[in-house]
A and B are shown apart, each in its own frame.
Chain A
Amino acid sequence: MLSRTADSLFWTARYLERADFLSRILDSALRLSTMPAAYGGANIWESVIASAGVADRFYAKHAVASEQTVRDFLAFDPENPSSIRSCLATARANGRAIRTALTTERCGSGSTTPGTS
């Protein structure tokens, strides 16, 4: 296999994994935020930003970590290079360069994700 193909396959998978990981964090945060406030005390959305490792970028753009700002930043923000949207776009760009090494189904599933062309 071409070294570049191997490299792109690795990063395609790595970015998909990261998108998956972010969506799981958001999912758990949503569940935790429905618990009584006294349970943890701290702002769960600040913890989310900390565990995603994007605090600098986030606070440069948003003053307060709330459900809305964190969700938008981690899931949909194209200016955040590690948002779910950006991860899928990067995975797709990697996949496109090696489409002969991917199945048609894999190529197709990437191309139908909104905003990742």
Chain B
Amino acid sequence: MLEDNARTPSGVSYMLENREVMLRLFPEMFAGQRVAPVETYTDALLATLRSVAPQRSGDDPSVVLLTPGPYNSAFYEHSFLADKLGIELVEGSDLFVRDDGVFMRFTDGPRRVDVIYRRIDDDFLDPLVFRPDSILGVPGLMSAYEAGLVTLANAPGTGVADDKAVYSYMPEIIRFFTGEEPILGNVPTWRCREAGSLAYVLEHLPELVVKEVNGSGGYGMLVGPTSSKAEIEAFRARLTRSPEGFIAQPTLALSTCPTFVDQGIAPRHVDLRPFVLTGSDQVRITPGGLTRVALKEGSLVVNSSQGGGTKDTWVLAD
């Protein structure tokens, strides 16, 4: 386990589209295998969202996907998912809050909204509570949420669970709550807020990966072995100033996978992002996932925002 992501399951549309493309290009490869389907994800997502609807919404809760709009880099995914789920794709300005709930503006009048699958960051959700300059959010949304009139998925604050310092406690959390050993191991992690760890990290900066505890997307981090002396010294200054904001890990040799590149087929580093949906009724695991690949030789940065690619990923049924 490299890290947890408990905020936004981004990239799931790539998983679905990769499979579509592979089925079209290589149907004969699928004919001879028993590849578990990933297209069940959209049904599972809708079932999960409906399972967390407020009680008073009854048997047929209304679910919407809240997007920051067409200028967001993930807008394609938002519209793709809304289309597949058969739900409305709304922007903040399409919603408004009254004493009795959250509504969307329809041509024939207001329509009640029960569950909001939001792809907007916490900070922008409600200008009355968080950033007052946010025009992407819905004024009053948080008070409706606190009154139990609407469900937000994921709920504000789930990011606490994927904080990289919390990650380092995950094996202990699993042991405490389940009494079992974790099935997947963690990467050894130094918490820089602990004096002993900080001393070690400062001494070994050139060989470690240092990450901000609340960072994501491959930003705000230091990859020691590939950084210049100046970059390392600049990072050392940040680290010394606020050590509690950072954790450090050894530089991992990610697995490689044969990949078609300009020179032919060559090994490239990959990581795997599985998609797990947790509702009030059950946990739904998609049999597949998003394999991200660093297309540059030797690179460990698989983020698509930094030139990484993706691969269709098969789970074979016995």
Contacts and interface: CB of A to CB of B under 8 A. Distances in A.
A101 to B, nearest CB: 9
Given A1-B107, A3-B107, A93 B70 contact: yes
Interface residues of A, number: 10
Contacts of B79: 99-100
Contacts of B88: 2
Contact of B90 (A2, A96, A99): A2
Main secondary structure of the interface of A (DSSP, over half): helix
B107 A6 contact: yes
A103 to B, nearest CB: 11
Give the most central of A2, A6, A96: most B CB within 10 Å. Answer: A2
Contact of B94 (A3, A93, A96, A100): A3
B69 A97 contact: yes
Contacts of A93: 70
Nearest to B104: A2
B149 interface: no
Nearest to A1: B107
B66 interface: no
A99 B83 CA distance: 9
B175 to A, nearest CB: 45
Contacts of B107: 1-3, 6
A31 interface: no
Interface of B: 69-70, 75, 79, 82-83, 88-91, 93-94, 104-107
| Closest 5 pairs between A and B when the two form their complex, measured CB to CB | A3-B105, A100-B83, A97-B70, A96-B70, A6-B107
